[in-house]
Every structure is written in structure tokens, then in C-alpha cells.
């Protein structure tokens, strides 16, 4: 991430009615958004969280979080989300079930337009997170919800005693595969002969007798009609094509950041991660970035929450200086 860039300073605008201007609008309701909301509301700032499509973001679809401090026995994703929301609400943060579709950061107060409402904000914290990457192969879109899935904890239950393919070789793919062994036999399809996942997850997956691996292979097509029947594989070393009969295909190949909304307004790298300095500031004064929207490196619940808290502290200081 670049640590030095010139902050642009939007001109004050007289267009938005002052009584409708929130101190802080937080876009996104993952751990970064919740933590930011907790800190800004506890600092007595009028705080609105725009939740996006899914309250809680990715962690809401996580079966178990066992690396968040304070939960020695682990905690389910939904339970953690519920606790984080309650915690922020206790200090007055309000949550709007809305999706922002347009944003104007060129003048202050900033204007955010959603499917449900329009919001004016003195300060914005972007916590839009990341979403599952698609394979973009024939059959994927058509069979989504009919055997193609991006979330084992959401859909695994529907595959009792079935055969499932999991595509990907990272920690998430292995975690999803391990979860799916509760229900099904799992084949992990990876495009190399070496996993990207860390040693702990690798060991668990390799030792699980319900998991087998297909190496050096990519999915060319997902075959099915009313349901998934097979995945067509191409061995990248030999070029050989083969069909693997499965009832489900879980695609777990990374999570690009949800930052398209800010194109042309906030600086981002080639992969779409928003640029910040070490104080979570974006290139626009009054706008901070927290969590996976600006984090290609850590992407953990704890790190996202930490960034949310840091962004909120900075926003609070900046707003105090504006008065």
C-alpha cells in the first residue's frame, strides 16, 4: 500500500440539509463496520451503518471462528455477528438494511445513494469487504443454487451422503472442504500440485479420509440440468480432459474486494484494494477505509475489526478538529 499520497479536500457544499447530515456513515456490516460503529457511537457521534446485502458479511457465513480473542471455545459466525451488532447498538449506532449504489465524494457533506434511501455524511468509513470470486466457466451461473455454491456452511447440509467437488487450494477451500466432510465425500480440485493453505489446515485436510485431491487441474465446465452432475476438468500439465461425477461444486478461490462503487473517486491498486495510509485514511479527506476492502494481506476477523476501530478513532479526531 502506498503510504504517501496527496489528500484531496472536497469543497463544502450547501446542497444537503444540515439536519439530515449524519456524523458518520459506515458502509458495510462485517467486523470492520461493526467495530467502527462501536467506536464512533461510543464517542457520541451520530452513526449509521448501511448493512449491504448481507448483515455480517463473510463472517456471517462462517461455521466457526476459533481465532478471535475472548472466545476460547470458538464462536459461530452468526453468533459473533449478533454480539457485534448488539454491542454497537448499545451505544446508539443504527443499522439500515440498504445497499449503496452511488456515492459522491467530491463535496461535503458526502452523498450516498442506496436502493432504499439517500444519506448525507460528514465522514464516511468504507468497510465493504470482499466477495467470492467466480470461476467464470460455462454452467457456473446457470447452476448456482442448483449445486454450485460459494458457501459450505450455507449449503453443505443439502449434500448428505453425496459427492462434492471443492475448487481451490487456499485456507478457505480447505476449511470449507473439512466442513463439508460432515455430509459428503469431497474432492479438492487445485490448479497446482502444491497447496496455498497454511500447514495446519493442510495437515487436517490431508489426514481426513473423506477428502481426496485432484492436482494440476482446472474446471473447464460445470455440467448439469436441474442439478450439477459433473465437473469437466483439464489437466494443465497434460491437457487431458476428464469428467468427475459430483452432485455439488463449491467454488472457493479467493475473495476480491467490493470496491467498484468507488472507482474514479478513491485510489485503489490493480486488484481493486483501496489505498490507505497507516491511519486508514483514503485519498479523500473525511473518508477512511477499514477491513478487506483495503487489506490484501491479513483478511482476518481480528485485523478487520482492528482497522475498523482505528478508522473510527481517526474519524472522531478529524470531526472534532472540524468543529
Residues that bind ligand NAP (CB under 6 A): 135, 167-173, 175, 191-192, 196, 198, 218, 253-255, 299
Question: Measuring CA to CA, how many Å separate 180 from each of 161, 252, 322?
Answer: 10, 13, 52
Q: CA 213, CA 208: separation in Å to the nearest integer? A: 11
Q: Name the active-site residue from 23, 151, 247, 295.
A: 151
Whether 171 is a known active-site residue: answer: no
C-alpha cell belonging to residue 42: 461510543
Q: Report the SS3 class of residue 158.
A: helix
Whether 295 is a known active-site residue: answer: no
Q: Name the active-site residue from 23, 73, 104, 154.
A: 154
Cite the beta strand spans of the chain per DSSP E. 11-12, 21-27, 47-50, 94-96, 100-104, 107-108, 110-114, 118-126, 148-149, 163-167, 185-189, 211-214, 217-224, 228-235, 241-245, 248-251, 287-289
Q: How many helices (H) and strands (E) does the chain have?
A: 6, 17
- Phi and psi at 274, nearest 5°, equal -70, 140
Q: Name the active-site residue from 155, 171, 247, 295.
A: 155
* Residue found under cell 479536500: 9
Whether 151 is a known active-site residue: answer: yes
Work out how close the CB of 296 gets to ligand NAP at its nearest, in angstroms, rounded to a whole number: 9
Kindly report the number of other CB atoms within 10 A of residue 305's CB atom: 25
Q: Which residue is nearest to ligand NAP (CB)?
A: 170
Ramachandran category for residue 59: left, alpha or beta (phi over 0 → left; psi -120 to 50 → alpha): alpha
Active site residues per annotation: 151, 154-155
Amino acid at each position: 500500500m502506498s503510504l504517501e499520497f496527496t489528500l484531496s479536500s472536497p469543497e463544502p457544499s450547501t446542497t444537503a440539509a444540515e439536519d439530515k447530515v449524519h456524523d458518520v456513515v459506515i458502509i458495510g456490516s462485517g467486523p470492520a463496520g461493526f467495530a467502527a460503529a462501536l467506536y464512533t457511537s461510543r464517542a457520541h457521534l451520530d452513526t449509521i451503518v448501511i448493512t449491504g446485502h448481507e448483515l455480517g458479511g463473510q463472517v456471517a457465513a462462517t461455521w466457526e471462528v476459533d481465532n478471535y480473542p475472548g472466545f476460547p471455545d470458538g464462536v459461530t459466525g452468526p453468533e459473533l455477528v449478533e454480539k457485534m451488532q448488539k454491542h454497537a447498538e448499545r451505544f446508539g449506532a443504527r443499522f439500515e438494511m440498504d445497499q449503496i449504489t452511488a456515492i459522491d465524494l467530491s463535496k461535503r457533506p458526502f452523498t450516498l445513494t442506496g436502493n432504499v434511501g439517500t444519506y448525507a455524511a460528514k465522514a464516511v468509513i468504507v468497510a465493504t469487504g470482499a466477495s467470492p470470486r467466480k470461476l467464470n466457466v460455462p454452467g457456473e451461473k446457470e447452476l448456482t443454487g442448483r449445486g454450485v455454491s460459494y458457501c459450505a456452511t450455507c449449503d453443505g447440509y443439502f449434500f448428505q451422503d453425496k459427492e462434492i467437488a471443492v475448487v481451490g487450494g487456499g485456507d478457505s477451500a480447505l476449511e470449507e472442504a473439512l466442513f463439508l466432510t460432515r455430509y459428503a465425500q469431497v474432492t479438492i480440485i487445485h490448479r497446482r500440485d502444491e497447496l496455498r493453505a497454511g500447514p495446519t489446515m493442510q495437515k487436517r485436510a490431508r489426514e481426513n479420509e473423506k477428502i481426496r485431491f485432484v492436482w494440476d487441474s482446472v474446471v473447464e465446465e460445470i455440467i448439469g440440468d436441474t442439478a450439477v452432475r459433473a465437473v469437466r476438468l483439464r489437466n494443465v500439465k497434460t491437457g487431458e480432459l476428464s469428467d468427475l461425477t459430483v452432485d455439488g461444486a463449491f467454488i472457493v478461490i479467493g475473495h476480491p474486494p467490493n470496491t467498484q462503487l468507488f472507482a474514479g473517486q478513491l485510489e485503489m491498486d490493480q486488484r481493486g484494494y483501496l489505498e490507505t495510509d497507516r491511519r486508514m485514511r483514503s485519498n479523500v479527506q473525511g473518508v477512511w477505509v477499514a477491513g478487506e476492502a483495503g487489506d490484501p494481506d491479513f483478511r482476518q476477523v481480528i485485523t478487520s475489526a482492528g482497522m475498523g476501530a482505528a478508522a473510527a478513532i481517526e474519524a472522531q479526531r478529524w470531526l472534532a478538529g472540524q468543529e
